[in-house]
Amino acid sequence: MKGETTIFFNKVSIIGVGLIGASFALALREKNLCGTIVGFGRKEENLKKAKERRIIDDFSLEIKRVCEDSDLILLSTPISLFKGIVENIRDTLKKGSLLTDVGSIKGSLVYEIESQIPPGIFYIGSHPIAGSDRSGIDDARADLFKSALCIITPTENSDTEAMRIIATIWERIGAQVKFMDPYKHDEVYAAVSHLPHIVAYTLVNTIGDIDSEFIGYAGQGFKDTTRIALSSPELWRDIVVYNRDNLLKLLEVFEKNINDIKRLLEEADSEGIKELFTKAQELRRRLR
């Protein structure tokens, strides 16, 4: 690891070269923050494409080889794979290397990863609030993180210098960094990210249960409301299962709100309905 301002890492390993991993690599390259970028993934065809597009410099289907002598390792796979990956590479990582991730779940997972890594290796959890319903490298771009929020989730065990470096990397590629307790992170994003995905998937399935042909008549409003239902089912299965305790509590609140509007409709209470809609409108206006 170099201390110059123009380059932080001689070698970076991207574990999972999808939209986020590939965009991270492109951003590092654009900002001259690293030397060699090596990728690992499940599909050789995707890795070859990433190399052809100069997203990565090299790749291997052997994860230990990808992580050998690496200064920074980014985990960008489904979160259910994180612990298995760390167990596999832990003895390969060199002293002083940094490990981070882009997972949407932190909480106990952060502590479990911390417990797996050997002394002299530093793990700091991170979660860039960026991306889209698409997950492939075709949509990867260097400015994906520009002005995006990135949540850093240190623990009482975190190395201060490692935390500073990880935060600086995200800032250099355009993100706005905030620090948050890992468990608080999962509470917040259960509400503003994970629950909306469940609602979007459920809304689309509801239309399908009524008549799947109705989808063909949907306008932009329906498309905007349900865009995130196009997201990877594998990825979001893992997220909601890992965060199920928070989501179950939130679904009770959501159910209450559904029952409130149902009751008002049954009573034909137009003023009550307007009040609920106005309350939501005013709260939504706070989001810019």
- The string of DSSP letters for 184-229 reads HHHHHHIIIIIHHHHHHHHHHHHHHHHHGGGGGG--HHHHHHHGGG
**How many Å apart are CA 42 and CA 165, to the nearest integer?**
29
- Residue 2 has what pLDDT? 47
Task: Based on the fold, state whether residues 13 and 123 are members of the same structural domain.
Answer: yes
- Largest Cα separation within the chain, whole Å, is 68
Residue type, 229: A
Show the tokens assigned to 209: 């249960």
So what's the pLDDT on residue 133?
Answer: 67
Residue 25 lies in a domain: yes
184/172 Cα distance (integer angstroms): 25
Summarize pLDDT for 153-209 with one digit per residue, the tens.
Answer: 999 999 999 999 999 999 999 999 999 999 999 999 999 999 999 999 999 999 999
What does the pLDDT read at residue 131? 73
pLDDT at 5: 47
In a domain, 3, yes or no: no
In a domain, 36, yes or no: yes
Q: Choose one of 180, 213, 240: the last residue of a domain.
A: 180
125 in a domain, yes or no?
Answer: yes
Question: Which of 142, 158, 180 delimits the end of a domain?
Answer: 180
Domain CATH code at residue 264: 1.10.3660.10
Q: Is 154 a member of any domain?
A: yes
The pLDDT value recorded for residue 288 is 74
- Residues 143 and 245 placed together within one structural domain of the fold: no
Per-residue tokens: 104? 């949407």
Whether residue 33 sits in one domain with residue 134: yes
Residues facing 36 on adjacent strands: 11
In a domain, 87, yes or no: yes
Query: Are 113 and 229 found together in one domain?
Result: no
Task: Provide the pLDDT for residue 6.
Answer: 46
- Whether residues 271 and 203 share a domain: the answer is yes
Are 47 and 143 in a shared domain?
yes
Does 213 map to a domain? yes
- CATH number of the CATH domain containing 55: 3.40.50.720
* Same structural domain, 34 and 142: yes
pLDDT less than 70: residues of the chain:
1-7, 132-134
- Are 56 and 168 part of one and the same domain? yes
CB 145 within 8 A of CB 130: yes
> 115 with 14, same domain?
yes
Whether 125 and 230 map to the same domain: the answer is: no
Domain count, the chain: 2
Q: Confirm whether 2 is domain-assigned.
A: no
Do 62 and 159 lie in a common domain? Answer: yes
Q: Residue 167 belongs to what domain range?
A: 9-180
Query: Residue 8: its pLDDT value, please?
Result: 82
Q: Which of 180, 200, 227 is the last residue of a domain?
A: 180
The phi, psi pair for 75, rounded to 5°, reads -90, 115
**What DSSP assignment string belongs to 133-150?**
S--SGGG--TTTTTT-EE
Whether residue 40 is found in the same domain as residue 118: yes
